[in-house]
Amino acid sequence: MRPRSLLARNYSPEDLERIANAFLVGNGRVGYKGTREEFGKEERATFSLIGTYDQREDKWREPINLFDPLGFRIETSLGTIPGREPLRREFRLDMRHGILYRKDVYEDVEVRTERFCPYGGGLHLLQKIEVRARKDAKVLLSSFLTTDIHEINGPHFPEKSLSFLEDGSVLASGVTNEGRKVEVILREEGSHGRRPFLEKERVGYLYEADLRQGERILLRKIGEARIDGEIEEEAPLSYEEARRRHFLSFERAFEEARAILPRDGELQKGMDHAVYSLLILGNHRKATSIPARGLSGQVYKGAIFWDTEMFLLPFFLLTDQEVARLLVQYRINTLPGALLKAREFGFEGAFYAWESQEDGRERCSLYNVTDPRTGEPIRTYFADCQIHISIDVFHGLMEYVRASGDLRILEEGGKDVLREVVRFYRSRASLGEDGLYHFKGVIGPDEYHELVDDNAYTNAMVRFEIEDAVSYLRKKGYGGIPGEELGEWLRFARAIYLQKPGKDGVIEQFAGYLGLEDVRYEEFRKRIEDPKEYLGGKEGKATPTRVIKQADVVALLALHPERYSREALRKNLRFYEPYTEGGSSLSNSMYGLLSAWCGNLGKAVRYMRESTLTDIRGSKKMFAGGIYIGGSHPAAMGGAYLDLARGLLGARIEENKVRFSPNLPKEMKGLRYRYKEGGIPKERKF
């Protein structure tokens, strides 16, 4: 057991990026990176918000970052922070209570802070600062709200201003390029008298005190954001009361969702971090879904990918179906964007956006990476051809319906999603001379090979998901979609061409894949000249080879093991593993899941462990071509949870009844798994 806390002591500057992502706090609506309070835009300090986007001129549209209420500066006779090096420094993330603590010891003062975003709450960020004298010292603490913030594709606020409000709070206000009014209000209570100050891009107070050894200045701050004047929830009046509530509710959510693993401190820490990272993304208020980089900022345009349905949803289905419903609702609400995209590409039905924002329109640029050497944009076909996204959305919706038994959501727009997705694939398929439907010119989960025909994942997922949905809806006697129509879906699905395992048991990733240069990743990597080099696409070095970015056939087998023989599962795991770069953080968990189905439990645990430690280690790629893609990795966290719950415990949830068929390695015997059934917390010992 133990962990529950993540510690970074006397960290070095190279660790800062990793800590910023692994130690972030949030509540599914807003978040704040694990950066030091004196950090600003240069260090990418970010008060992030999910669901409000802005576009500046022809730059990429991305979520706005909020004005930053955590600014501080401390002066004593020995110097200024920032600018001074502490003797000791520490961040401690209390994962059980969702609070980040900082403690820095300087020669004359000790600085302690804590911060959190109230669990289940609105757009609030709270912070406490304590400056304690280690020897008699005159301390000047300035605490401020700043409009000088980090933005990747900004500036997003051509207009912005700072002011004092009548009650002494300070206000930063701005209007985005798209005309959204954004305000951040900061109210603070201090232990000492204060003087207001207003300077370019900063508004706040100065607290001055002659401290005797052991005395302190204490400050409590409550930051609140409003978009277009909307108060999502009233800001708490009292810091301590809000903290008490948050502490208890986060603890409850965490303890009810965590697994207690015997005798493996590292895995416990990783799994706790995965659960923590998923809980801080659980939004109980709006159907905004979860961006690929979660609350860590504007990377990937704050967009929602297949990550949500395939990697994140399973956690919420087993721990908090209120959040799961909102995730599904988001896809229902964004159906118009998917209908529009299909029309724009010349198809019918719903072609969901590869990178989706609040309106569901496609936000993935046609030139989504750059050449790091020349800076030239590279044409990528993710938006045009990564058509598996629609069936992933379909899968997510049906998983939710099957898990919760909530057929009502079908009446509330869910059935239109199903229908339009099927319509899309019918219009996108071409009928071959073999009398079967083929999907040509697509991209599978391995994004390096573009414009390929008959990607195994895509074809099989479309077929299996439609078949499974029809059989479930028929079994339920669901009349929202007429039986005749379901029959047509089924006829279509059954006529989709499926790659069968060859004589050697291998399922070819796409037509012609096996004819590519047979070089394993370990050998191939010697050809990489620049670590930022983009390996896929027309000119990419991986393109003429069998090297793939991430699990593709393996993902299919991991998601639908019941459709294949154990032999086929094993052979494909063994075949694809050496060709897989694992460049995407999504890859490990699919390998973990398939390893579990193959009974290779040691390997399953290894992949799951890697996945849980993704952000703690901060080892993932920071660049795709020349584009910065750093940040946190929610899908790796959700994927690790999937490996544990589904792969090792065999958890299956149907209409709120969870059944297990465990497949645990010896060393994990005694594991205690906590989940919910119909909203009721349960624990099961294995």
Q: What is the DSSP string of 5-17?
A: EEEEES--GGGHH
Residue tagged 């594709």 (tokens): 153
Q: Are 638 and 314 in contact (CB under 8 A)?
A: yes
Q: What is the DSSP string of 270-322?
A: HHHHHHHHHHTT--SS-S----TTTTS-SGGGG-B-THIIIIIHHHHHHH-HH
Candidates 181-189, 300-308, 526-534, 678-686 — which segment interacts with ligand IFM by CB under 6 A? 300-308
* Angstrom distances, CA of residue 625 to CA of 60, 103, 579: 16, 37, 20
CA distance 582 to 260: 28
Catalytic status, residue 447: yes
Give me the 566-585 binding string for ligand IFM, x by CB under 6 A, dash otherwise: ------------------x-
Candidates 202-210, 298-306, 615-623, 664-672 — which segment interacts with ligand IFM by CB under 6 A? 298-306
Minimum Å gap between C-beta 305 and ligand IFM is 4
Q: Does 318 bind ligand IFM (CB under 6 A)?
A: no
Candidates 7-15, 21-29, 299-307, 425-433 — which segment interacts with ligand IFM by CB under 6 A? 299-307
Give me the 440-459 binding string for ligand IFM, x by CB under 6 A, dash otherwise: -----x-x------------
Q: What is the DSSP string of 341-394?
A: HHHHTT--S----SSB-TT--B---SS-EE-TTT--EE---HHHH-THHHHHHH
Sign of the alpha-carbon dihedral angle for 16, 22, 25, 27: positive
Q: Does 306 bind ligand IFM (CB under 6 A)?
A: yes
Give me the 627-666 binding string for ligand IFM, x by CB under 6 A, dash otherwise: --------x-------------------------------
With respect to ligand IFM, which residue has the nearer C-beta, 307 or 420? 307
Choose the catalytic residue: 420, 447, 581, 610: 447
CA distance 29 to 289: 10
Write the CB contacts of 316 (distance below 8 Å, at least 6 apart in sequence). 278, 282, 323, 324, 327
Minimum Å gap between C-beta 42 and ligand IFM is 26
Q: Does 548 bind ligand IFM (CB under 6 A)?
A: no
Q: Does 305 bind ligand IFM (CB under 6 A)?
A: yes
With respect to ligand IFM, which residue has the nearer C-beta, 128 or 363? 363
With respect to ligand IFM, which residue has the nearer C-beta, 94 or 446? 446
End-to-end CA distance of the chain: 15
With respect to ligand IFM, which residue has the nearer C-beta, 422 or 627? 627
Q: Is the peptide bond before 155 cis (omega within 30 degrees of 0)?
A: yes
CA distance 131 to 208: 11
Q: Does 21 bind ligand IFM (CB under 6 A)?
A: no
With respect to ligand IFM, which residue has the nearer C-beta, 188 or 447? 447
Q: Does 292 bind ligand IFM (CB under 6 A)?
A: yes
Write the CB contacts of 308 (distance below 8 Å, at least 6 apart in sequence). 289, 290, 327, 396
With respect to ligand IFM, which residue has the nearer C-beta, 217 or 551? 551
Using CB under 6 A, pick the residue from 17, 104, 307, 615 that binds ligand IFM. Answer: 307
Using CB under 6 A, pick the residue from 586, 590, 594, 645 that binds ligand IFM. Answer: 586
Minimum Å gap between C-beta 50 and ligand IFM is 15
Residue of 263, 209, 415, 425 whose CA lies nearest to 331: 415
Q: Determine how many CB atoms are found less than 10 A away from the CB of residue 114.
A: 20
Minimum Å gap between C-beta 306 and ligand IFM is 5
Candidates 157-165, 304-312, 487-495, 637-645 — which segment interacts with ligand IFM by CB under 6 A? 304-312
Which two tokens mark 5?
């806390």
Q: Are 677 and 321 in contact (CB under 8 A)?
A: no
Catalytic machinery residues: 447
* Chain contacts with ligand IFM (rule: CB under 6 A): 292, 300, 305-307, 445, 447, 584, 586, 635
